[in-house]
Amino acid sequence: MNGSTRPKIPRRVLDGVLLLDKPLGLSSNDALIRAKKIYLAKKAGHTGTLDPLATGLLPLCFGEATKFSQDLLEADKTYEATMRLGVRTTTGDAEGEAVQTRDVSCDEAAIRDAMAHFLGEIAQVPPMYSALKRDGKPLYEYARAGQTVEREARNVTIHALDLIACALPDVTFRVTCSKGTYVRTLAEDIGEKLGCGAHLVGLRRTGVGALTLEHAVTLDTLAEATQDTRDSWLQPVDALLSTFPAVHLDADATRRFAQGQRLKLSEIADAPAEADRVRVYALDGDRLLGVARAGEGVLAPERLVVSAA
């Protein structure tokens, strides 16, 4: 063996969720790679991308938690965003070139009225600069080639939309929205409603489902910390599942559930009266067994935690 060959650094088996405060200018995948390297983790994944120009909450899943990352992809998101009125750009954000400039003559009351128009379920046309695919190719590839293709409007839901600050031409707002919502498209549409156009100049994600920035940590802080401190920042696997009702099983039911068997809801003391998906625990120390679907009198295992077996 070549004497200059470096020995492989052993990777650790870790299970948990890291609430990362992603920095500006870094892609979600690059942030994941750095965190995985810092933790020397064997298996990791993220729960939905943040653009490089966006900062904020990026939950990272390690080990068994990766089985439940899809649940956060489906979750509502909360952002704080700043749009600049009067200028439209090619990308809908500050990364693009200005394509139209108009005077800004609205006041705060008009901005609030315009924003109210976008509450609830709305139809939104995805931007050309997005990763959505057409004929197997991402839309942004067409856009970079100077091509525009037709995109069907998609229904998304704006649960809350609040004005935070107004220092024209910049307007900062907070939005809680369903999956698939493009905040820069929302900013553009508000700008058009005001008759002056707009583009996004700042975006920070503050919430994903029930998770918030409150316990998030930066990559720099992670890199400087000791291993024990880093591990203490890992949330348990079920942090991703806090909105699901909890079900607890006795020893016999735990054994059968861990083997993938369906159970009668009538045999489970705390079975929910009405629920779709539930998180399932063993009575001995509230050990997470996995996720199941509850319905028609049956608890059917959906995804199991390996250690549960």
Domain CATH for 115: 3.30.2350.10
User: Do 168 and 216 reside in the same domain of the chain?
Assistant: no
* Predicted TM-score (pTM) of this structure: 0.88
Residue 147: alpha-carbon gap to chain centroid: 29
Flag whether 7 is in a domain. no
Flag whether 150 is in a domain. yes
| Predicted local confidence at residue 11, as pLDDT | 84
How many secondary structure helices (H) and strands (E) does the chain include? 8, 18
Check residue 126 and report its DSSP letter: P
- Give the separation between CA 97 and CA 84, rounded to whole angstroms: 14
Flag whether 133 is in a domain. yes
The tens-digit pLDDT sequence of the chain (309 residues) is 455 566 677 888 899 999 999 999 999 999 999 999 999 999 998 887 888 889 999 999 999 999 888 878 888 999 999 999 999 999 999 989 999 999 999 999 999 999 999 999 999 988 766 667 776 777 777 767 777 777 788 999 999 999 999 999 999 999 999 998 999 999 999 999 999 999 999 999 999 989 999 999 999 999 999 999 999 999 999 998 888 889 999 999 999 999 999 999 888 888 887 778 899 999 876 789 999 999 888 999 999 987 644
User: Do 172 and 219 reside in the same domain of the chain?
Assistant: no
What is the phi/psi pair of residue 53, to 5°? -80, 0
- Give the separation between CA 225 and CA 287, rounded to whole angstroms: 29
| Predicted local confidence at residue 6, as pLDDT | 66
- Give the separation between CA 29 and CA 132, rounded to whole angstroms: 17
- Give the separation between CA 265 and CA 94, rounded to whole angstroms: 53
Flag whether 102 is in a domain. yes
Flag whether 297 is in a domain. yes
Residue 239: alpha-carbon gap to chain centroid: 14
User: Do 65 and 117 reside in the same domain of the chain?
Assistant: no
User: Do 117 and 160 reside in the same domain of the chain?
Assistant: yes
User: Do 93 and 167 reside in the same domain of the chain?
Assistant: yes
- Give the separation between CA 26 and CA 220, rounded to whole angstroms: 13
User: Do 34 and 125 reside in the same domain of the chain?
Assistant: no
Flag whether 5 is in a domain. no
| Predicted local confidence at residue 291, as pLDDT | 93
User: Do 121 and 195 reside in the same domain of the chain?
Assistant: yes
User: Do 93 and 116 reside in the same domain of the chain?
Assistant: yes
Q: Are 217 and 21 in contact (CB under 8 A)?
A: yes
276 as an active site residue: the answer is no
Looking up tokens 């905040």 gives 183
Q: Are 213 and 206 in contact (CB under 8 A)?
A: yes
Beta bridge partners of 249: 282
Q: Are 119 and 178 in contact (CB under 8 A)?
A: no
Flag whether 6 is in a domain. no
Q: Are 226 and 38 in contact (CB under 8 A)?
A: no
Among 180, 203, 226, the domain boundary falls at: 203
Looking up tokens 């696997």 gives 237
Catalytic residue among 15, 21, 51, 238: 51
User: Do 99 and 70 reside in the same domain of the chain?
Assistant: no
Pairing of β 198-208 and β 211-212 = antiparallel
Q: Are 77 and 176 in contact (CB under 8 A)?
A: yes
| Predicted local confidence at residue 5, as pLDDT | 65
User: Do 135 and 188 reside in the same domain of the chain?
Assistant: yes
Q: What residues contact 284, with CB distance under 8 A and at least 6 apart?
A: 251, 254
Q: Give the structural domain span for 280.
A: 244-308
- Give the separation between CA 89 and CA 260, rounded to whole angstroms: 53
Closest by alpha carbon to 93, among 200, 205, 203?
200
User: What's the number of CA atoms in the CB half-sphere (13 Å) around residue 12?
Assistant: 13
DSSP 68-92: GHHHHHTS-EEEEEEEEETEEESSS
Among 203, 226, 257, the domain boundary falls at: 203
What is the phi/psi pair of residue 185, to 5°? -65, -40
Amino acid making up residue 294 = A
Flag whether 10 is in a domain. no
Count of domains observed in the chain: 3
User: Do 87 and 184 reside in the same domain of the chain?
Assistant: yes
User: Do 127 and 35 reside in the same domain of the chain?
Assistant: no
Can you give the CATH number for the domain in which 261 is found?
A: 2.30.130.10
